[in-house]
């Protein structure tokens, strides 16, 4: 057994859990008329309602003890102090510095990193202003109207999710596009509708060696050179990277490169120059507001007592659902079309961070770790997979995320959206009892065998735990705060599970094998391949006529 499962708090939770597993949310609400107030926590206009989680005051108390026993506070402070908490890669984890006020120092290895952060932000501000105001134009003197971000994973999902979420802050004459997949149809689809003279490519890659990104960047470059000539590259390509040498090698002048640092993990990098497309299409002021929102959450996470600390509470409830109630997944359900890529973004943030089975102390875990994260915006999701949440056999904890006000109000759309948030979380909590279902069927005129046959299908078990996250409006500030809330929630869970949430060694094996398989596909040379792969290589080559 590990120290975690042997610890007093874990043991106490193991003892407490069976009792809770048999309690229904109906019962918990019946027993406590102040349950909403008791389990609702706030930071300014941000409200986190945990009342529909299957917890009691005792559950939260024991979970807090678990956080204390596992040294969560110390681990958090070590992150903010720039210590090398990414132990396997021996790196600091300091994305919080990227949104820190630039005049207040933060240190990595004894060096104040804020002047360098400020310098890059100033360059992002200047560059985005020049493009937006038409001072920086394409090689033929045309205004730049389309920004194509070429990147993948952490160099794609963040800016993509944010530019989609902040579309009301963009203008139609400056559009962002994202190309990530090495599948040629991704780049082809985007390029088809673009005018090279008006297109700016941002090649975003921390390492500047990622196969997908470099392949797409080379093809995009060839497309541009074909149409506007070699000398156009300087006006149409910029890079965001930590690898100046590789950027220069690709043919992008390092004057057109925006840097960041090894203490910024890919999936935590949207706050760095990786956010350049955000600043370009929304304006730097909006980007700064996004950073300020994230900083507000950082300050809260760093200083608020554990029992009112929003990311801590979300993380503890996540652990409760996963380890003590036995859920395997976590649904992210923004009732906000603008957040339609949030689940995809959080899939990476959460699953790449905490999808691990070896601890920081190099031992295997003897408990479950990160859940499967998935989701879609509501109300669309209600018309697809909600059936399973209501009547399936899995415990599916879910976050419902909503703004009280729309930024693009139109008739009563937003009230209808909100009515669905309230209705669904209520239905998931309380379900529909046999008595209620029976009365309903009777009122429809059903009786006897017909009623009895239909009755079981009309029941809703309820007791599905949900968290409601509500704020005034999805401004850049509110979005930054929301993303940072999730980042720190992931930190809390990873910290308690004893994981290093900041490496991603599990993505390496597939990359290595793809490197080895490519020449086999190209040449038919099958030596060294397992028989099953060799058979498929032959099959594919035959179909392609190779
Ligand atoms: C994120 C991961 C990963 C990374 C991509 C792209 O934390 O490290 O998603 O962002 O593999 O890497 P590059 O930015 O180096 O191209």
Per the annotation, the verdict on 19 as an active-site residue is no
pLDDT of residue 138: 98
User: 207 CB less than 6 Å from ligand 1?
Assistant: yes
| Among protein residues, the one whose CA lies closest to atom 16 of ligand 1 | 205
**CA 504 to centroid of ligand 1, rounded, Å:** 9
The per-residue pLDDT for range 142-153, each reduced to its tens digit, is 999 999 999 999
Ligand 1 atom closest to Cα of residue 267: 7
User: 351 CB less than 6 Å from ligand 1?
Assistant: no
Pocket of ligand 1, candidates 207, 266, 277, 348: which has the most ligand atoms within 8 Å of its Cβ, to mutate?
A: 266
Per the annotation, the verdict on 8 as an active-site residue is no
156-180 exposure pattern, b = at least 16 Cβ within 10 A, e = fewer:
bbbbbbbbbbbbebbeeebbbbbbb
Cis peptide before 490 (omega within 30 of 0): no
Per the annotation, the verdict on 356 as an active-site residue is no
The per-residue pLDDT for range 271-303, each reduced to its tens digit, is 999 999 999 999 999 999 999 999 999 999 999
Q: Specify which residues 150 forms β-bridges with.
A: 179, 203
User: 266 CB less than 6 Å from ligand 1?
Assistant: yes
The per-residue pLDDT for range 11-52, each reduced to its tens digit, is 999 999 999 999 999 999 999 999 999 999 999 999 999 999
User: 300 CB less than 6 Å from ligand 1?
Assistant: no
Tell if the pTM clears 0.85, that is, is over it: yes
Ligand 1 atom closest to Cα of residue 207: 15
User: 98 CB less than 6 Å from ligand 1?
Assistant: no
The per-residue pLDDT for range 379-423, each reduced to its tens digit, is 999 999 999 999 999 999 999 999 999 999 999 999 999 999 999
pLDDT of residue 286: 98
51-73 exposure pattern, b = at least 16 Cβ within 10 A, e = fewer:
bbbbbbeebbebbbbbbebbebb
Helix ranges (H only) for 259-309 are 276-282, 284-303
| Among protein residues, the one whose CA lies closest to atom 13 of ligand 1 | 205
User: 354 CB less than 6 Å from ligand 1?
Assistant: no
Pocket of ligand 1, candidates 95, 206, 240, 242: which has the most ligand atoms within 8 Å of its Cβ, to mutate?
A: 206
User: 210 CB less than 6 Å from ligand 1?
Assistant: yes
**CA 155 to centroid of ligand 1, rounded, Å:** 6
Select which of 352, 376, 487, 493 is catalytic: 352
Largest alpha-carbon pair distance within the chain?
83
pLDDT of residue 2: 72
Q: Is the pLDDT of residue 544 over 80?
A: yes
State whether the Cα torsion 129-133-139-144 is positive or negative: positive
The per-residue pLDDT for range 95-135, each reduced to its tens digit, is 999 999 999 999 999 999 999 999 999 999 999 999 999 99
User: 154 CB less than 6 Å from ligand 1?
Assistant: yes
Q: Is the pLDDT of residue 1 over 80?
A: no
Q: Is the pLDDT of residue 500 over 80?
A: yes
Residues 6+ apart with CB under 8 A from 526: 520, 534, 537, 538
In 3D space, the residue among 227, 260, 224 whose CA is nearest the CA of residue 241 turns out to be: 260
**CA 267 to centroid of ligand 1, rounded, Å:** 7
User: 152 CB less than 6 Å from ligand 1?
Assistant: yes
Tokens of 294: 């994230």
The per-residue pLDDT for range 379-388, each reduced to its tens digit, is 999 999 999 9
User: 206 CB less than 6 Å from ligand 1?
Assistant: yes
In 3D space, the residue among 62, 157, 178, 116 whose CA is nearest the CA of residue 350 turns out to be: 157
Residue 328's φ and ψ, nearest 5 degrees, are -105, -15
| Among protein residues, the one whose CA lies closest to atom 5 of ligand 1 | 153
Select which of 383, 413, 416, 515 is catalytic: 383
| Among protein residues, the one whose CA lies closest to atom 1 of ligand 1 | 266
């Amino acid at each position: 057994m590990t120290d975690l499962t042997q610890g007093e708090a874990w043991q106490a939770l193991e003892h407490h859990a069976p009792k809770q597993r048999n309690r229904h949310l109906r019962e918990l609400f019946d027993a406590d008329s102040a349950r909403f107030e008791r389990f609702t926590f706030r930071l300014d206009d941000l409200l986190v309602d945990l009342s529909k989680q299957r917890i009691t005051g005792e559950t939260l108390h024991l979970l807090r003890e678990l956080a204390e026993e596992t040294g969560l506070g110390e681990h958090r402070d070590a992150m903010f102090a720039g210590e090398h908490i990414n132990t396997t890669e021996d790196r600091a984890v300091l994305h919080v510095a990227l949104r820190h006020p630039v005049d207040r120092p933060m240190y990595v290895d004894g060096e104040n990193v804020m002047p360098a952060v400020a310098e890059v932000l100033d360059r992002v501000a200047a560059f985005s202003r020049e493009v937006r105001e038409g001072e920086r134009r394409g090689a033929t003197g045309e205004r730049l109207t389309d920004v194509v971000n070429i990147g993948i994973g952490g160099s794609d999902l963040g800016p993509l999710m944010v530019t989609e979420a902040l579309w009301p802050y963009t203008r139609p004459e400056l559009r962002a596009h994202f190309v990530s997949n090495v599948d040629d149809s991704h780049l082809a689809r985007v390029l088809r509708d673009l005018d090279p003279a008006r297109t700016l490519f941002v090649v975003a890659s921390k390492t500047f060696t990622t196969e997908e990104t470099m392949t797409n960047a080379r093809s995009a470059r060839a497309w541009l050179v074909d149409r506007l000539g070699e000398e156009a590259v300087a006006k149409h390509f910029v890079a965001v990277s930590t690898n100046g040498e590789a950027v220069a090698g690709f043919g992008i002048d390092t004057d057109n490169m925006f840097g960041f640092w090894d203490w910024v993990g890919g999936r935590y990098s949207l706050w760095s120059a990786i956010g350049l497309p955000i600043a370009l299409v929304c304006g730097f002021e909006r980007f700064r507001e996004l950073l300020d929102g994230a900083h507000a959450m950082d300050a809260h996470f760093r200083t608020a007592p554990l029992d009112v600390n929003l990311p801590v509470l979300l993380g503890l409830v996540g652990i409760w659902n996963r380890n003590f109630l036995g859920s395997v997944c976590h649904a992210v359900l923004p009732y906000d079309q603008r957040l339609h890529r949030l689940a995809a973004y959080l899939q990476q943030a959460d699953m790449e961070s905490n999808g691990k089975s070896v601890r920081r102390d190099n031992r295997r875990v003897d408990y479950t770790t990160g859940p499967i994260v998935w989701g879609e915006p509501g109300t669309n999701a209600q018309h697809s997979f909600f059936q399973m949440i209501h009547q399936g056999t899995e415990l599916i904890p879910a976050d419902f995320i909503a703004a009280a006000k729309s930024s693009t109000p139109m008739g009563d759309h937003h009230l209808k959206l909100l009515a669905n948030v309230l209705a669904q979380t209520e239905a998931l909590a309380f379900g529909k009892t046999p008595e209620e279902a029976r009365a309903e069927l009777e009122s429809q005129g059903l009786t006897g065998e017909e009623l009895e046959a239909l009755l079981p299908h009309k029941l809703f078990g309820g007791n599905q735990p949900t968290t409601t996250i509500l704020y005034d409006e999805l401004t850049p500030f509110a979005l930054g705060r929301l993303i940072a809330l999730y980042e720190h929630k992931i930190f809390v869970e990873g910290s308690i599970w004893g994981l290093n949430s900041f490496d991603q060694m599990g993505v390496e094996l597939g990359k290595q094998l793809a490197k080895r398989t490519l020449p086999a596909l190209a040449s038919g040379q099958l030596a060294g391949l397992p028989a099953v792969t060799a058979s498929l290589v032959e099959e594919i080559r035959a179909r392609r006529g190779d």
